[in-house]
Amino acid sequence: MPVRNAHWLWLSAIIILLDQITKQLVHRHLDWYEHIAIFPHFNIVHLRNTGVAFSMFSGSSQIIFISLAVIVSAGILIWLRRNPKGQTLVAVALCLILAGAIGNAIDRAARGYVVDFLDFYWGSWHFAAFNLADTAITIGASLMILDAFLDWRRSRRTGRSAP
């Protein structure tokens, strides 16, 4: 079986690199909980997340999260290999999700927590801080939803059912 869509893995590599560089800069230049106001409603802050999204399961072992990231990454690589050539949106989405999973797994393995630093707020309400890996996962998942919607729309237009 030919290796399809492998050329999209450069996107994952770039996102992982940028994610690790930004986390390292925050880790080196800001104390824990220190923040820098960038513009109204946005700070760079140094937070440490031992859980998953919104710090859920923060008491759990990092080995569980690292193992999950490895399993998800293997599944994404298989999916990417089987993804038909020409389905660019799905390939890009998978590479973004892969980059996010690996980027956060690197943090967990190296530090025992994930460095979060993007802090959006309104008044005293703060959205959960996140990082570039989280952003890549969110954008990738959104592209997967968009692709499913576009497939559904195409199938309705042609009068056939979506796969």
Give 138's contacts (C-beta < 8 A, 6+ positions apart). Answer: 100
Query: Hey, which residues are catalytic here?
Result: 116, 134
Torsion, CA 69, CA 64, CA 131, CA 80, rounded to 10: 10
Give 108's contacts (C-beta < 8 A, 6+ positions apart). Answer: 62, 65, 66, 69, 114
Residue 129 DSSP one-character state:
P
Rounded-to-integer distance, Cα 161 and Cα 134, Å = 33
| Joined tokens for residue 76 | 């994404």
Rounded-to-integer distance, Cα 139 and Cα 144, Å = 9
In a 10 Å sphere around its CB, with 0-12 CB exposed, 13-18 middle and 19+ buried, how is residue 37 labelled?
exposed
| Joined tokens for residue 22 | 């930004």
